[in-house]
Amino acid sequence: MALRIDHIGSTSVPELAAKDVIDVQVTVATLQPERLVQQMSHAGFKASRGAEIEYDHTPSGADASQCAEWAKLSFSAPSDSRPVHIHVRAAGKANQRYALLFRDYLRTHPRAAAAYAELKRRLAALDIQTGVYAEIKDPVCDLVMISAEEWAAKTGWDAR
């Protein structure tokens, strides 16, 4: 079902501070929860919420009524293997593009990556809950994405 599989997240950006967790985005034509859970389970991955669709953070200024743009399924690797988070998203949706553009922008803009890394280090030093960490980090990512979108338009970047 996978149209493409991409290494995303902090570990996909050289020199970026990151937890020891690999984030992978699996792009599919459409989210088919039951079928995806069955296939991923057969491959040894555990669904975070079963066949229940989750929603990524909706950036400030985005149309929150467009929930389908932020829908995904999440899976994790078996407990006896390296920690992996798998994000299954539909091709062409806002969240699928967001992950790729964010990664590519940071890969090509070392100063932005360094500033983002410093934020992550400072948040980690606070020893706060994961949910609180995300509440602080997500708006910062949205700020990065403003520049990333400008860069994408200027350079002709495409998620394909």
What confidence tier does 64 reach under pLDDT thresholds 50, 70, 90?
low
What confidence tier does 43 reach under pLDDT thresholds 50, 70, 90?
very high
The percent of residues in the chain predicted with pLDDT above 90, rounded, is 76
Parse the chain into domains and list their residue ranges.
Answer: 2-155
pLDDT tens column, 78-136: 888 999 999 999 999 999 999 999 999 999 999 999 999 999 999 989 988 888 988 99
| pLDDT value for 61 | 79
Q: For residue 5, is pLDDT > 90?
A: yes
What confidence tier does 40 reach under pLDDT thresholds 50, 70, 90?
very high
Q: Which one is the CATH code of 2-155: 3.30.460.10, 3.40.50.300, 3.10.620.30, 3.40.190.10? A: 3.30.460.10
Q: Where are the beta strands (DSSP E) in the chain?
A: 2-8, 22-28, 46-47, 54-55, 71-76, 84-90
Helices and strands in the chain: count of H runs, count of E runs? 4, 6
Which comes out higher in pLDDT, residue 72 or 124? 72
Q: For residue 160, is pLDDT > 80?
A: no
Calculate mean pLDDT across residues 29-50: 94
Q: For residue 65, is pLDDT > 80?
A: no
pTM of the model: 0.93
| pLDDT value for 102 | 97
Q: Are strands 22-28 and 84-90 parallel, antiparallel or unpaired?
A: parallel
Using DSSP, state whether 35 is helix, strand or coil: helix
| pLDDT value for 131 | 84
Calculate mean pLDDT across residues 44-49: 93
Angle at 45 between CA 117 and CA 132, to 5 degrees: 35
